[in-house]
Amino acid sequence: MFADLRMGAGEPGGGPPPATGLFDACFDQWAMGMVTRGFAPVAWGHSWTVQGVVIEPAFASRVQQMADQHRANLQLGHAHNLLEAERFEDAAKIFEGLGMWKEAGEARRHAKRNVVTQVQVDVNGLIDQVRRGGLTTTYACPACHSPIQIGGNTDVRSLTHCQYCGSVIQSTDLVDFLTRVVGYR
């Protein structure tokens, strides 16, 4: 169908037929189908071809614009997926490539945001539960793996540093350990 229209079938002088709304819509639908399947116009002598169909240069530029827009839409979708995956720098690079400078800056600023979560846990209360339960447990120092005994008479201040290597014991690690011992997790 397109080859006949391209060649100006039935036109005096062999010129291309006037573009009509129906032809434009039909051509655009066909071209977008080609573009979404990964085909773009390729030079072929003085004409252009899309997946073996010869088209005029004016139509080739139209298909190329569709292909460029489709590629940009795919990249934009990928950038949004990267933002969801918190890969902010990768998303920013795609935005830059699309000329979307504001969005690139926003992605980079988002990467710099620090989220601080404060959790208050009563370590004394956990040790009190160990005491009331008549339990004694052994916590391994994360640095030197030395055994640190925790029982009913353990003072919380003695659990801030390892008595063997002197390294700081993270309170969050200790709380996780004690909550497992007393049965919260």
Domain that holds residue 168: 123-182
Does 107 map to a domain? Answer: no
- Please give the pLDDT value at position 82: 94
3-class DSSP assignment, residue 55: strand
How many CB atoms are closer than 10 A to CB 30?
Answer: 16
Does 86 map to a domain? Answer: no
Looking at the 3D structure of the chain, how many domains does it have? Answer: 2
Does 149 map to a domain? Answer: yes
Domain boundary among 71, 86, 108: 71
Q: What is the DSSP letter of 155?
A: -
Does 64 map to a domain? Answer: yes
Render the burial of 107-143: b for 16+ CB within 10 Å, e for the rest.
Answer: bbeeeeeeeeeeeeeeeeebbebbeeeeeebebebee
Does 127 map to a domain? Answer: yes
Residue 42 CA: distances (Å) to CA of 16, 39, 80, 106: 20, 9, 31, 37
- Please give the pLDDT value at position 108: 92
Does 170 map to a domain? Answer: yes
pLDDT along the chain (185 residues), means of 10: 43 53 82 92 88 88 92 94 93 95 93 70 72 80 87 79 86 80 66
